[in-house]
Amino acid sequence: MQALNTLFSLYDCIGHKYCGRMSSQKALCHLANGSRSWIPEKVVELGYKQGYIIRVGMLNFLTYDECEVFPGPRLNIILGPNGTGKSTITHAMCLACGGAPATVGRSPDIKQFVKHGKSDEMAYAEVDIVASESGKVVNVRRNISAFSKSSQFSIDGKKATEKEVKELMATLQIDVDNLCK
C-alpha cells in the first residue's frame, strides 16, 4: 500500500495563496465555464500511475487560506522553515482520503483543522487521484465545519460516506490509517 507521507516540492508558498507548479498541471484542461478537467492521456504520458495523488487542494485549512500543490510523478520534497505548512499538506492528504484526525497526530477533533479565525467560513482538504491505469482522475474532498464540528465527504462532487471514500482508497491501495506503510 502507498503511504500518504510522500514529500512535495513547494516553490512559492510564502503568501499561502498558490503553491507548487508541478508537471501534473500540463494534464489539466481549463474549460470555458471556469471548471477544470484532467486529460487522461496526458496524465499517463507524464508518468502518473493508478493511486498517485496529482493535486492537493486546501481552503482555510490549518496554515493556508487557499493553496494547491501539484506533486510530480516521482520523488517530491517539501522544504521550508518551521511553521510554513509542510505538515499541513500531508494532513490534508490524509484527511481528504478518509483518515481519522487522530491518525496525523495533531488533534482528534476535526474542527481543529480549520484555520484559526476562519471558523465561520467553509474549509476543505481535497485530492485528485489517478483512479485507473488509463489516467482517469477522481476528486475526493472533505468539507470541514468548525461550527458544527463535523465533516462531509464527496467524490467527484457527489456526496459520499466515509465508508465509500475508504473503499475507494482500498481499491487504489492507499492506506491512510498506516502512514508508515
3-state secondary structure 25-40: HHHEEECCCCCEEECH
With beta carbons less than 8 A apart as the criterion, state whether 10 and 19 touch. yes
pTM over 0.85: no
Name 58's bridge partners.
67, 125
Round to whole Å and give the CA distance between 123 and 26: 27
Of residues 20 and 171, the one with the higher pLDDT is: 171
With beta carbons less than 8 A apart as the criterion, state whether 59 and 10 touch. no
Residue 25 has pLDDT above 70, yes or no: yes
DSSP 115: P
How do residues 94-144 score in pLDDT, each as one tens digit?
Answer: 999 999 888 887 788 888 899 999 988 899 999 999 999 999 999 999 999
How many Cβ atoms from other residues are within 10 Å of residue 71's Cβ? Answer: 25
The pLDDT score that the predictor gives to residue 64 is 93
Domain 23-171 CATH assignment equals 3.20.20.140: no
**What residue segments make up the domains of the chain, in order of their start?**
23-171
Q: Is 105 left (phi over 0), alpha (psi -120 to 50) or beta?
A: left
The pLDDT score that the predictor gives to residue 21 is 45
Per the listing, cell 483543522 goes with 113
